[in-house]
């Protein structure tokens, strides 16, 4: 009997025209391992910024959308979570790529194991300022106002917010910008799962913990700084590997 195909997870690619390495790595990923997977999950911040689905008119965004569509068109289920940089991904993007847009937290079956998948920024509850900003900027009313603005204005806002975020993050202790233990434990309890996979923190690791006396595993995905990083999860084992552009 053939071994079932593994599911693949990536996060925090931050694709943009200014970073050709990760974009080339993503092309390789889409042409190769992604088409042989049981499912592909992109857990947030696929793009370094997303001003709305009008961005599909940009050459690099269209290139990414075409690569994603090649995955779904090959018959591989494709799931995309919105991140803090691309929370404006919408239905036009979903139609163009064949992807299913995930809610903030979702339990999925991965090789027979119920697994909580999320971008993960909602778990960084120790960063009070960020959480207040997140609730405000991602509220339905704010999203409607943003999408009603001219594209040029949205580009300017995105540029300003990226600079502000980079500066603010650099001034905060790592313990604040990382996920909070209490938030992680609560997520495990609420969803009653033994495994969680997320990104956002750019601190790849495997954490083993006990919640209410039950062993749990939290896998943190790596960001695509200069190359691709993929988590492969099969029925009997999991591994990570790099894609050099």
pLDDT at 141 over 90: yes
pLDDT in tens, 30-54: 999 999 999 999 999 999 999 999 9
What the chain holds in terms of domains, given with CATH numbers, is 7-243 (3.60.21.10)
Query: What is the predicted pLDDT for the residue at 226?
Result: 87
pLDDT at 162 over 80: no
pLDDT in tens, 9-32: 999 999 999 999 999 999 999 999
**Whole-number Å distance between alpha carbons of 19 and 194:** 36
| Residues forming beta bridges with residue 107, ordered by sequence position | 116
Query: What is the predicted pLDDT for the residue at 171?
Result: 44
Q: Which residue has the higher pLDDT, 122 or 155?
A: 122
**Whole-number Å distance between alpha carbons of 26 and 24:** 5
Query: What is the predicted pLDDT for the residue at 245?
Result: 81
Rounded to 5 degrees, what angle do the CA atoms 117, 68, 154 make?
80
């Amino acid at each position: 009997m053939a071994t079932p195909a593994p599911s693949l997870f990536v996060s925090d690619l931050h694709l943009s025209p200014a970073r050709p390495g990760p974009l080339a790595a993503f092309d390789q990923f889409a042409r190769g391992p992604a088409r042989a997977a049981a499912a592909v999950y992109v857990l947030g911040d696929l793009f370094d910024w997303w001003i709305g689905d009008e961005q599909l008119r940009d050459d690099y965004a269209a290139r990414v959308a075409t690569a994603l569509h090649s995955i779904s068109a090959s018959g591989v289920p494709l799931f995309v979570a919105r991140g803090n940089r691309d929370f404006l991904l919408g239905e036009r993007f979903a139609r163009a790529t064949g992807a299913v847009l995930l809610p903030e937290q979702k339990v999925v079956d991965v090789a027979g194991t119920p697994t909580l998948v999320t971008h993960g920024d909602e778990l960084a509850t120790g960063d009070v300022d960020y959480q207040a900003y997140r609730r405000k900027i991602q509220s339905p009313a704010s999203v409607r106002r943003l999408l009603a603005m001219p594209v040029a204005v949205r580009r300017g806002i995105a540029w300003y917010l990226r600079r502000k975020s980079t500066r603010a993050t650099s001034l905060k202790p790592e313990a604040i910008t990382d996920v909070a233990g209490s938030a992680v434990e609560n997520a495990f309890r609420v969803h009653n799962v033994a495994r969680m996979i997320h990104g956002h923190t750019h601190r790849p690791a495997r954490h083993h913990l006990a919640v209410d006396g039950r062993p749990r595993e939290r896998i943190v995905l790596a960001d695509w700084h200069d190359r691709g990083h993929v988590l492969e999860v099969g029925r009997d084992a999991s591994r990570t590997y790099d894609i050099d552009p």
